[in-house]
Amino acid sequence: MEQPDPRVLRKAQRGDAQAFTTLVRQYESRLFNFILRSVQERTLAEDLMQDVLLRVHESLPRFRGGSFTTWLFEIAKNRVIDEHRSGRDRLRSTVPLELVATVGVETKIGVEEQLDAIWGVIAGLAWDIRVPLLLREIAGLSYTEIAETLGLPISTVRWRIFVARQELVQGLHDLEHPVAIDAMS
């Protein structure tokens, strides 16, 4: 994922509100989609997004280089994990239609039903394989960025994403939905 302009980042670190807004606009869509797909509830995702942005704003002066993207998604991942551990993680199957661009879908059943099936299976994946999959497919992070964000070796990240994709395919097969997962393979 593209890193922010270093000049904008330095200005934001010094408290420039316009520079911070530029950073937020650069990452807000992918960041929000990652949070939303992690918790599966729009209102909760909006609250968590605000909390993440507040934490980023407060911590930004202490950011000392490296990958800004990795740092940003690590904050988001930690906040989502905190929410998950708190027991308030209420998974629901809200599904974006933009996923059609990510997953090849056959048309024997309606798109909404196919997306419900996909997100239902993803929501049921174990946390340790769901998060890397979401960081890859929803947030668009590279394997290296995911490894840095999660503090895992890249081989572990690749394996977890492979397992998540296999479980997704198997879960959809078990539901007897004719969904093709060719774009995610």
Domain of residue 131, CATH code: 1.10.10.10
Enumerate residues 6+ apart whose C-beta is below 8 A from 7: none
Q: What span, in angstroms and rounded, lies between the C-alpha atoms of 180 and 105? A: 5
Q: What span, in angstroms and rounded, lies between the C-alpha atoms of 131 and 150? A: 9
Query: Does the pTM of the predicted model rise above 0.75?
Result: no
Domain range for 34 is: 6-85
Q: What span, in angstroms and rounded, lies between the C-alpha atoms of 118 and 178? A: 11
Q: What is the pLDDT of residues 71-95, one digit of tens each?
A: 999 999 999 888 877 765 443 333 3
Domain end residue (candidates: 53, 85, 117): 85
Q: What is the pLDDT of residues 85-137, one digit of tens each?
A: 776 544 333 334 344 334 444 444 566 777 777 888 888 889 899 999 998 88
Residue 163 pLDDT > 50, yes or no? yes
Number of domains in the chain: 2
Domain of residue 28, CATH code: 1.10.1740.10
